[in-house]
A and B are shown apart, each in its own frame.
Chain A
Amino acid sequence: MHTHPTRRTLLLGAVAATALGACATSGADDDSEAAKGETTADNPFGAPADAPLEVVVFKGGYGDQYAVEAGTLYKPRFPKADVDHKGIQRVGEVLQPRFISDDPPDVVDNSGAGRLDLVTLVSSGKLTDLTELLDAPSLDDPSKKVRDTLMPGVVEDGTFDGKVFVLNYSSVLWGIWYSRSLFARNGWTYPTTWAEMLTLGDEIKKTGVAPWTWQGKFPEYMNDPLVSLAAKAGGHELVRSVDNLEPGVWRSPSMLAAAGAIHQLAVRGHIMPGSEALSHTEAQNAWSKGQAAFIPCGSWLEGEQQQVTPAGFDMVLGTVPALTGADKLPAGAVMAASSESFLVPAKAGNARGGLEYLRILFSRKVARGFAQNSRALPVVTGATDGLTLTSGLASTAQTAEAAGASMFGYRFRTWYPPLAKALDDATGELLTKRTTPEKWAERVQKAADAVAADSSVTKQKR
């Protein structure tokens, strides 16, 4: 036998293989226009009557019943069109090759773990501009544009470089959760300022209950109250400067004060020991068992804790208290964002139909079904009116209404994931007292500056 590969044959193989290399990135190049039908008042986008519609939806915590319903409402309007609905997980892995080869479905809910990076999709020109949809008459009230039926912030959440490419379906609010019954039993009232929060914490600690726990394994959970405090003190202006990577914003007085406020929880021993190593499940279950009074989380908490919440626990979402007496945003201001990102790929075969499908999806009827089945707040305003809601969802809906236009949301987590990671790392250190608010600000600012200086990162502006 003399057929052992020699170094030379290996090298030759490598050369041949590099020629093969173009496979992952070579794509189809047919630029055929998407099919179009006649435009009428009832069919504002001119969706073709007989073109099939393929909808791929992330089937996660919220299920996909609402998307199925929208599909069944599409059918009677276009009886000759087949609606192909797919509820899947790992949306990114399934659709990545189809985006590369420009053979995507007509509607995608790009959500859940393993979703595709939105900024990448936008910068590669893979998505349809949804402005047309926003300016179309809404299904429920033709005198109202779709744009005007959505909660504040939803359109902005889907805006990249001045154009709207994504519409999110579920509204998520971030706050601090507590059990109404536990508070009533102990005569505690939810604080309105951070100073009161610290005083209440001292009081709670005396009863043997830990005032706080948090999902330390994933430090971003505590970043939400931190940046909320900063936004309340510094106003929308601060939020914009953070997202625009303006120099020194992480060292600004509001941001430093917010970091100091969160740091105080650790300094005063208000945090349940060991929280820094708990996963979200462990920390949330400890909180549901009444081992801690407060936990930071988004409005999905109630659904997530369904199986382990004791009867009569009555969890409610509290607005993050005011940081100072002179906050720029009103007391009810709350951090909000939307999730379940619906989009229409640019190269969709039936893009017109995709837009029409979204118009149906964002109607009040489908949204009500979503609130009832998925126990989450849809972004369609007034969709939950008159429904009997669970305590958590009801408090979420109230908080959203109370906040009104003072809702705020940061975009840097989606725009600049490396900055989000640096912030998470720093906050983890802050809450274990291994770093100080000043050093925290230094290192986050350094990370923000690094992203700003990195020419390979596409910059966004708001």
Chain B
Amino acid sequence: MRHGRYRFLAGAMLPPLLLYAVFVVSPYAQAFYLAFTDFNGVSSDVRLVGLDNFTRLWSDPLFLAALRHNGLMLVVVPLVTIALALFFAASTRGSRLLRAYRVLYFFPQLLSVAIIAVLWQFVYTPNSGLLNGLLDAIGLSTLERSWLAEPRLALWCVMAALIWSAVGFYVVLFAAAIESIPADITEAALIDGAGPVTLFRRITLPLVWDSVQVAFVYLGIVALDGFALVQIMTVGPGGPDNSTEVMGLSLYRNAFTYGRYGYASAMGVALFFLTLTLVLLMLRVTRRERVEMA
């Protein structure tokens, strides 16, 4: 009987594994191979060029700019998103009305990235945009500007949209984690005279740290991407004057506009290892002692 069960399990596992191998693993593997070639996207006559594509990366000013911008996003996006999400999750505990807010926070999660980008483009557009209109209405018209057309502001505007779209999911994630903290622990802390801040720092945060750790990893990956928002929202795209260039965009442009698939694959490989390194680092840095709850 045992034998039959294994056969059944194998039969159930094999098709999905095969699909995964064909549609996920093999393209990855091909990208690794193409990164060492001069593949131009249409010719089957492909030459191996060794590490050329990779050495080229480090002297490509656009790719380096993209690396810097993704680096900045990596610092800002996860921190701000997690801080906001924790704040919203913790402050919407209690009454039904407050909990209803969590649904609102979650709404952006239901929209596709393309729609989010188009919406935010309308927010930032200079002459009839929501943001400039708002500033005008509250008498701050001196602050009005062409948000996405100023090199110093454009990337921050993109990050704001990114954070807006991500925060709702983590509110729900953290809220669920907070709900699962046993009421007696919270009550005991309150009886001992802990204020809301102390309660959050000493009780809530340590007990939801696992979720925060996961959030850091996910958001780190989001921050290394940012392609869709930049491609749809920004001037150029990637501008003005390359101030919002991200690695995904460089990769896309080299492959689909310049026909340099080999070089673009090298970018993809670099991005792959960066993401992998980042995940390992994030997991290590955010590692704390686990609190066991009975």
Stretch at the interface among A24-32, A238-246, A372-380: A24-32
Report Cα–Cα, A124/B240, bound state, in Å.
34
B242 — which chain A residues lie within 8 A by C-beta?
A: 425
Contact code string B26-56 (vs A, CB < 8 Å = 1, else 0)? 1011101110011111111110000000000
With an 8 A cutoff between CB atoms, is A126 at the interface?
yes
Stretch at the interface among B3-11, B142-150, B285-293: B142-150
With an 8 A cutoff between CB atoms, is B71 at the interface?
no
- A35-75 contacts to B (CB < 8 Å): none
Q: How far is the CB of B140 from chain A (nearest CB, A)?
A: 17
With an 8 A cutoff between CB atoms, is B236 at the interface?
yes
With an 8 A cutoff between CB atoms, is B126 at the interface?
yes
The answer to whether B236 touches A124 (Cβ under 8 A) is no
Report Cα–Cα, A432/B125, bound state, in Å.
16
Number of interface residues of B (CB under 8 A): 40
Given known pairs A20-B29, A21-B32, A216-B235, the reply for A277 and B125 (CB within 8 Å) is yes
Across the interface, A277 reaches (CB within 8 A) one of B46, B126, B256, namely: B126
- A341-374 contacts to B (CB < 8 Å): none
With an 8 A cutoff between CB atoms, is A278 at the interface?
yes
The answer to whether A116 touches B42 (Cβ under 8 A) is yes
The answer to whether B34 touches A24 (Cβ under 8 A) is yes
Stretch at the interface among A94-102, A176-184, A315-323, A393-401: A94-102
B contact patch SS = loop
The answer to whether B25 touches A96 (Cβ under 8 A) is no
- B83-128 contacts to A (CB < 8 Å): 121, 124-127
Report Cα–Cα, A434/B150, bound state, in Å.
10
The answer to whether B126 touches A417 (Cβ under 8 A) is no
B146 — which chain A residues lie within 8 A by C-beta?
A: 273-274, 276-277
Contact code string A271-284 (vs B, CB < 8 Å = 1, else 0)? 01110111100100
The answer to whether A278 touches B125 (Cβ under 8 A) is yes
The answer to whether B33 touches A428 (Cβ under 8 A) is no
Across the interface, A429 reaches (CB within 8 A) one of B43, B121, B147, B240, namely: B240
The answer to whether B125 touches A23 (Cβ under 8 A) is no
Report Cα–Cα, A124/B47, bound state, in Å.
12
The answer to whether A114 touches B256 (Cβ under 8 A) is yes
With an 8 A cutoff between CB atoms, is B133 at the interface?
no
B257 — which chain A residues lie within 8 A by C-beta?
A: 117, 417, 421
Q: How far is the CB of A352 from chain B (nearest CB, A)?
A: 23
With an 8 A cutoff between CB atoms, is B20 at the interface?
no
Q: How far is the CB of B55 from chain A (nearest CB, A)?
A: 12
B44 — which chain A residues lie within 8 A by C-beta?
A: 25-27, 100-102
The answer to whether B236 touches A219 (Cβ under 8 A) is yes
The residue among A13, A114, A125, A276 with the most chain B CB atoms within 10 A of its own CB is A276
A329 — which chain B residues lie within 8 A by C-beta?
A: none
Report Cα–Cα, A217/B236, bound state, in Å.
6
Q: How far is the CB of B232 from chain A (nearest CB, A)?
A: 10
Across the interface, B236 reaches (CB within 8 A) one of A274, A424, A432, namely: A424
The answer to whether B148 touches A21 (Cβ under 8 A) is no
With an 8 A cutoff between CB atoms, is A418 at the interface?
yes
The answer to whether A126 touches B241 (Cβ under 8 A) is no
With an 8 A cutoff between CB atoms, is B218 at the interface?
no
Across the interface, A96 reaches (CB within 8 A) one of B33, B42, B46, B235, namely: B42
Given known pairs A17-B25, A100-B42, the reply for A425 and B241 (CB within 8 Å) is yes
With an 8 A cutoff between CB atoms, is B239 at the interface?
yes
A20 — which chain B residues lie within 8 A by C-beta?
A: 26, 29-30
Report Cα–Cα, A121/B44, bound state, in Å.
11
B253 — which chain A residues lie within 8 A by C-beta?
A: 421
Report Cα–Cα, A217/B43, bound state, in Å.
33
Q: How far is the CB of B163 from chain A (nearest CB, A)?
A: 21
The answer to whether B28 touches A277 (Cβ under 8 A) is no
A418 — which chain B residues lie within 8 A by C-beta?
A: 258
The answer to whether B43 touches A17 (Cβ under 8 A) is no
Q: How far is the CB of A448 from chain B (nearest CB, A)?
A: 15
**What is the chain B residue whose CB lies nearest that of A16?**
B29
Given known pairs A96-B41, A276-B235, A277-B125, the reply for A23 and B30 (CB within 8 Å) is yes
With an 8 A cutoff between CB atoms, is A120 at the interface?
yes
- A407-462 contacts to B (CB < 8 Å): 417-418, 421, 424-425, 428-429, 432, 434, 456
With an 8 A cutoff between CB atoms, is A405 at the interface?
no
Given known pairs A17-B32, A24-B30, the reply for A276 and B240 (CB within 8 Å) is yes
The answer to whether A432 touches B26 (Cβ under 8 A) is no
The answer to whether A428 touches B41 (Cβ under 8 A) is no
- A to B CB contacts below 8 Å, 30 in the list: A17-B28, A20-B26, A20-B30, A21-B33, A21-B34, A24-B34, A24-B39, A25-B46, A26-B44, A27-B44, A96-B41, A117-B40, A117-B42, A117-B257, A117-B259, A123-B40, A216-B149, A217-B236, A273-B126, A274-B126, A274-B149, A276-B149, A277-B235, A278-B127, A418-B258, A421-B257, A429-B240, A429-B241, A434-B241, A456-B38
User: 14 other contacts beyond A124-B42, A278-B125, with CB at 8 A cut-off?
Assistant: A13-B25, A17-B29, A18-B29, A18-B33, A20-B26, A25-B39, A25-B46, A99-B42, A119-B259, A120-B43, A272-B127, A421-B253, A428-B239, A434-B151
